[in-house]
Structure 1
């Protein structure tokens, strides 16, 4: 962010306009941005004399357009338009919409991620018609928290530059929130709102309930849009809450800033970190990210605040590592140490779920390993896992080499396959307890009666506590052929640790890692509870390769991808083919790429553009 990015904002022409005040005898005209994404310009409409409803900038209306009725937002005052110009009338009011600041934010986001403002304004608008707003409560925050995290929260609330607080993954960040509430909402002459962003809906509901018990008026945006629009003191929500309609922003707090759910991989692609920092920049308000494994995006341009290493390490889980190279090949992913620790966990844990085993997402990923020594086939250039064709091919950097094991020289390779369903059956037979398979599509009753679980990372969102969490084949995460794989793998360990507790507590459990790469930096960092080596390496790698946030790229897909990539190359971008109808376009900065995309019409053949996607 900064002046360079700020200068590229697309002004809506409604910066200080609140209500449209025009003489009674004048033609009341307004500029409308419709929900039709293909139409980005404002269209003039007349407010009829019988119009009833809010006329503030951001208010929602229904208007006629090309023979049909569409929704839209009031974005400007068009009262000074040519009175001889024939305009159509607004058909109806649809109640309150987002405030002017969010209209501006949507226009900036449309430029930043090569999309249309209407797509973002839809996220900022209520699902139902809101015709009245509640009165926000007045409250006086209690005494400021004196804990180290509470003090950090107060310090960050006083800093208008982006801040990052690094904590252990099992550390409770609630005092950070209380510190910001005290600093930003105490003795405020104007009702202001603190916006808190969390990765999941369950987390949002629990946080609102916890704040309410402490006497802090808080609302979950999922069912409290009118309260947020009225200016409730604390508004909590998930990714789309970046566009929460709070009229006076006091600050933004992002919890678990490393979580992949803060990235939208749909159309358009966008991320919470950049969006929140832009909004706080415009509002001259602090933006604070709390993270256990801050990514390069989180760290970019931010001030890092952290606790002492001993305290941070104590809030990482206890980690045990199993070397799969020394296991009996016939045991597959169910090592002898896993079975031993699972039985101990079942004996020690009286709660319903004692053991949670996590395998690669969807259970279909493949690794290539040596038949003789079980060494994983890795790229000599970037250390990513290779795929087996006529040669060993690296899907990350394109390097190929002969089918020869780097460790023992053997030429025979094997494919390692995983499947959650089969593993659940085998584990149940070995443990003699009910084992359930859990995936993202599992129903709400999937955990009922289960003492042990096998499944994808969805387990981490379904279960609050376990004595043992086992990452059955961690190499799939360590060697994923994409940038940021290492820090994502360390983040997974941190998320697993929240189920078992910190390493210094005697009642805590453990995270079991099964791998063939015992000396990998991620494994070493997890064992010592010290993420800085992995975090620093992620920043260095992205800087060297000019990957976001140290450069910008866009993935082009569709029949018009080649034509569009050629047009962008002519304007100074670099492109590389990913397939017949897929290209990757790269520029030196966000501003350069966004300007190129905004100034280059898309081909008629059709192309989908994803700017700075997480999965690169």
Structure 2
């Protein structure tokens, strides 16, 4: 992106500070040629200096303005249209605009002195000189460069050992010339790309693609679709053809995936499809290094990228000519940012598509009920893929009643038998246990006390591999004590089961099986998740144990058995979405079975065999589940038939937090009868990271009453007691 000379003398700046408004600053003459909308600048704020972002130009007024002190980067980081999008997102989620922009940008761009390193390389080209040099090594290198037309130094280093002296001599003799060029880091450069095998679309896929194609062929306008396809129905093929179509029109595509762990798989698939078409891909997600994200961001902003693939934060990618947004696995809760700027990337994708007149495809086998209801109401065009590709059947799903199969093992006899059959046949199995660690807690068998986190109202998870107790909320950790701190008893034993303990048991039951575990503990290192995926695809793993990570979009053709160890834990959460989450998770993990030539089986262990959500999972009946769940939501005016805003007040002083919550509740209740004000009440985790927490839930059938209530919060924030923080979560997904 080239720098834009300012046509004005005043810039509207979003400063990185807890301010809910944009500030005006004067543009000094010395910076007029350097500054543009999207520039990162240094400005004075009170007695300190802060980072800010130029969001627009303003007309000079009578007020005396402070000067912008410095333009930090040589080029703007985003365009005018992106500035408008960032500000609208910040307003919707009631978040300071400067801090929202900072969240949107690559990590490392918020500090005043933060100027990420731009890597460079020497690009060598052959001159018009026809004769050959005398040295054999020089001739060899020169012939190589002539064959390539131009060649970077990094490539010459890989091809020839210590080529520097020969290159220098070739330049001196005017056989070669070089220039310094920018070199961008590619985090997936080493991923092997296989040749794409064309796949013929089935009838349902063709109908879906034709509908998207019609929207892309027409005049640029916002066109949102819900691509509702069962697991293994070929949604990605529809995505790929839609992307190819938008690229033909000279526009760009953005593809969002819920987990950074899925990105390498998708990158491989996309590179395979587009490798012979000159399509330029970029990857954006938080798992990359700061330098890798910064390189990709600048390429995108310059217009040097055709397709961006990334996780949640990629929704902010500054693509200049965006024509298509794909939100894969749109049901996934990880699209919602849980701290700070609490945006939902799925909803922002729709917002951005509307603002930039783009086509948006939300894809899922289990769409969130909000999206499904929108499709029923015509706000999204509903496209359905009701069958798996290649006429493969959906897996058989069996509910195993744990009350009939209780014993020492966590695996019921039917599940053990099914695993033995699958392994004997040379097939693979997945086991889902949504609890990491060895055990959920250590229990004193003398006094009954469980070891708890000193900072949070939660027990510490025991990891036998790491020989530690850890809080997965605040990351407090300690070595297991030798005695109970309450009664000094020494009988501290692990209770319950996590993925570590399950792995131990599977190795004992099936000693010949190759067993691996996929959870946050085993995939925390860069590339670890991708290595596990490669091992599964190469049939180097027989049994993969994991948390909900294993349910997310993986395609393992040799998996014929999926076992769910305990389906009940999530059913009992005090959340109106608990049944929807269970249905979605179990349907998704069930969809990993039988994706190859052999049929699949799914065994779900539960004490609640009569639960309606589990029954619909067993019957692969999304429509039936949705109809029942939506009817219940409508009676209670819960989303999608109502709107929520969750307010959380937190602080070190419990009394101050409670008083502030009571005052805000009384204030809000006195202002309108169109919105319910529920609470204050303790949060499900009343203490988190040593902060006492109280919540107030705002609920209304329409958005407008909530918007008016939220506007009052900006004024009420300034009246909070010292040490009390108000967090606003618009459209909350979790309310812990």
Does TM-score exceed 0.5, indicating one fold? Answer: yes
Q: Are residues 1:510 and 2:491 paired?
A: no
Q: Which residue of 2 aligns with 1:36?
A: 17
- The 5 Å alignment of 1:220-231 reads 220-222=283-285, 223=293, 224-231=296-303
Residue 262 (structure 1) shift: 1.1
Task: Return the offset for 1:506.
Answer: 4.1
**Structure-2 residue corresponding to 1:346:** 423
Per-residue deviation at 1:527?
A: 3.0
Alignment of 1:329-340 (within 5 A): 329-331=406-408, 333-340=410-417
* Residue among 548, 573, 578 paired with 1:485: 578
Counting matched residue pairs gives: 529
TM-superposed CA distance for 1:39, in Å, is: 5.3
Q: Who is 1:168 aligned against?
A: 230
Conserved in 2, the CA contact under 8 Å of 1:134 and 1:230? no
1:178, distance to aligned residue in structure 2 (A) = 2.6
- Larger C-alpha radius of gyration, 1 or 2? 2
Shift of 1:288: 1.4
**Whole-angstrom distance in 2 between the partners of 1:202 and 1:454:** 16
Label 1:288 to 1:145 Cα distance change in 2 as closer, same or farther (>3 A): farther
Counterpart position of 1:62? 42
In the TM superposition, residue 417 of structure 1 has moved relative to its aligned partner by 4.7
Q: CA deviation at 1:492?
A: 1.6
Distance 2:712 2:253 in 1: 36
1:336 deviates by 0.6
Per the TM alignment, residue 49 of structure 1 is displaced from its structure 2 partner at its CA by: 1.7
Higher relative contact order (CA 8 A, sep 6+): 1
C-alpha distance in 2, partners of 1:324/1:162?
43
Q: Give secondary structure in 2 for the equivalent of 1:214.
A: helix
Alignment of 1:211-610 (within 5 A): 211-215=270-274, 216-222=279-285, 223=293, 224-231=296-303, 232-299=305-372, 300=374, 301-308=379-386, 314=392, 316-327=394-405, 329-331=406-408, 333-349=410-426, 354-362=428-436, 417-433=496-512, 438-443=518-523, 451-460=542-551, 465=556, 466-502=559-595, 506-558=597-649, 559=657, 560-572=660-672, 573-577=675-679, 578-579=681-682, 581-600=694-713, 601=715, 602=717, 603-605=719-721, 606=724, 607-610=726-729
- For the structure 1 residues 229 and 533, does the alpha-carbon distance in structure 2 shift closer, same or farther, using more than 3 Å as the test? same
- Structure-2 change in CA distance of 1:202 and 1:365 (3 Å): closer
2:453 corresponds to: none
Equivalent of 1:198 in 257, 260, 271: 257
Work out the CA distance in 1 between the residues paired with 2:14 and 2:26: 10
Structure 1 residue 258: Cα displacement = 0.8
Task: Find the residue that maps to 2:411 and give its secondary structure.
Answer: coil
How far has the Cα of 1:320 moved from its partner?
Answer: 2.8
Query: Taking structure 1 as reference, are residues 50 and 80 closer, same or farther at Cα in structure 2, changes over 3 Å only?
Result: closer
* 2:55 counterpart (58, 75, 79): 75
Contact kept? 1:133, 1:229, Cα under 8 Å: no
Is there any run of 5+ residues in structure 2 with no aligned partner, and where? Answer: 110-114, 119-180, 185-196, 216-221, 286-292, 442-494, 650-656, 683-692
Cα separation, partners in 2 of 1:251 and 1:438, compared to 1, 3 Å: closer
Unaligned runs of 5+ in 1: 1-17, 136-141, 367-415
Pair 1:44–1:158, CA change in 2 (3 A): farther
Distance 1:257 1:423, change over 3 A: same
- For residues 522-549 of structure 1, what are the alpha-carbon distances to aligned partners after superposition, in whole Å with 9 as ceiling and x for unaligned? 3333333331111233333332222233
Change (3 A) 1:204 1:463: closer
Note the aligned Cα RMSD (angstroms). 3.4
In 2 relative to 1, CA 509–310 (structure 1 residues): closer, same or farther, beyond 3 Å? closer
Q: Deviations over 1:555-597 (max 9, x none)?
A: 2222132222222222223222222832222222233213321
C-alpha separation in 1, matches of 2:366 and 2:712: 37
Taking the aligned partners of 1:317 and 1:118, their CA distance within structure 2 comes to: 49
Does the 8 Å CA contact 2:436/2:500 hold for their aligned counterparts? no
Task: Please identify, of 313-322 and 160-169, the stretch whose mean Cα deviation from structure 2 is larger.
Answer: 313-322
The 1:511/1:177 distance shift into structure 2, 3 A limit, reads same
TM-score (norm 2): 0.65
8 Å Cα contact 1:161-1:286 kept in structure 2: yes
1:303-340 CA distances to partner (integer Å, 9 max, x unpaired)? 2111346879956433233122221x224532111111
User: SS at the partner of 1:180?
Assistant: helix
| Inter-partner Cα distance in structure 2 for 1:492 and 1:554 | 25
- Whether 1:126 and 2:106 are equivalent positions in the alignment is yes
Using the alignment, how far apart are the partners of 1:111 and 1:198 within structure 2? 25
- 2:205 pairs with one of 149, 170, 186: 149
Task: Tell me if 1:611 matches 2:730.
Answer: yes
Conserved 8 A contact 1:269-1:612: no
Residue aligning to 1:11: none
User: Is contact 1:439-1:455 (8 Å) kept?
Assistant: yes
Shift of 1:167: 0.5
Answer yes or no: is the 8 Å Cα contact 2:258–2:329 preserved in 1: yes
CA distance in 1, matches of 2:258, 2:39: 28
CA distance in 1, matches of 2:334, 2:576: 17
With over 3 angstroms needed to count, the CA separation of the structure-2 counterparts of 1:535 and 1:166, relative to structure 1, is same
Contact 2:6 2:32 in 1 (8 A): no
